[in-house]
Amino acid sequence: MSEILIAPSILSGDFCNMEKSVRDLEKWGGDWVHCDVMDGVYVPNITFGMPMIAAIRKVTEKTLDVHLMITEPEKYVERFVDAGADIITFHPDASKDPTACIELIKNKGKKAGVVFNPNVPVDKYAYLFDKCDLIVVMTVYAGYGGQKLIPECIDTIAYVKKLTGNKIPVEADGGINKETASLARNAGADVLVAGSAVYKAADPAGVIKELRG
């Protein structure tokens, strides 16, 4: 696929000034706005929900890449679309009916994808791939920003690319920085999420450029 896209995660932004955090990532050359929604049930952490997506939608034209780390995402996806999400990804192991969940998103005219935590077997959900616009491979366990990349997860990126015949974009999420980005890129990742590596950098624009390779 073509050029690598960078999706800075606003989880590492300033929660007192999200508008600035979004404008900053635009200024630094970020492509998508990665929004990490956590419910304290599927993952042991709570972040934000639809009101935050709606607020961000008002201040940017960038693609809002909404990563749902919530149980029974099918109950909420339509409301996330209404809030302004462009892409919604969810963990299939958190859903009672992943096929229906994808359809709910796509019937609203938006892009849908599934996310694999490191302990979730990809093969079990490969039947969903031809309905997906994006597949996300977690390179850490979902739940927190600022973790260290788990090297074994890099093989999952290559495996998913192979299974999909390189036809569906793959996003790598977690622990991506100047050192690890090349591993994800070489394995075939098309989109790289980066939270702490971008927002905590002295030169975030320079980091984004380096992440692209």
Structure tokens at 26: 């635009």
- Taking the C-alpha atoms of residue 51 and residue 73, their distance in angstroms, rounded to an integer, is 16
Contact partner at residue 195 from Zn ion, ligand DX5, none, CB < 5 to 8 Å by partner kind? ligand DX5
Give 29 or 103: the residue with its C-beta nearer to ligand DX5.
Answer: 29
- CB closer to ligand DX5, 56 vs 197: 197
137: part of which helix (H) or strand (E)?
strand 134-138
- Indicate whether 34 belongs to the interface with ligand DX5 (CB under 6 A): yes
Does 113 help bind ligand DX5 (rule: CB under 6 A)?
Answer: no
Phi then psi for residue 25, to 5 deg, are: -65, -30
Q: What is the DSSP letter of 75?
A: G
Catalytic residue among 24, 31, 65, 173: 173
**Binding site partner of 84, from Zn ion, ligand DX5, none, Cβ cut-off 5-8 A by kind:** none
Q: How far is the CB of 79 from Zn ion (least distance, A)?
A: 19
Active-site annotation holds for 65: no
Burial of 94 (0-12, 13-18, 19+ CB in 10 A): buried
Least distance in angstroms from the C-beta of 178 to ligand DX5: 12
Task: Mark out the alpha helices in the chain (DSSP H runs).
Answer: 18-28, 50-59, 77-83, 98-107, 152-163, 181-186, 196-199, 204-212
| Interaction of residue 156 with ligand DX5, rule CB under 6 A | no
Give the other-Cβ count within 10 Å of 81's Cβ: 22
Stretch that binds ligand DX5, among 21-29, 83-91, 100-108, 190-198 (CB under 6 A): 190-198
Residue 11: alpha-carbon gap to chain centroid = 11
195 binds ligand DX5 (CB under 6 A): yes
- Residues numbered 59-78 forming contacts with ligand DX5, rule: CB under 6 A: 67
Residue positions annotated with a catalytic role? 36, 173
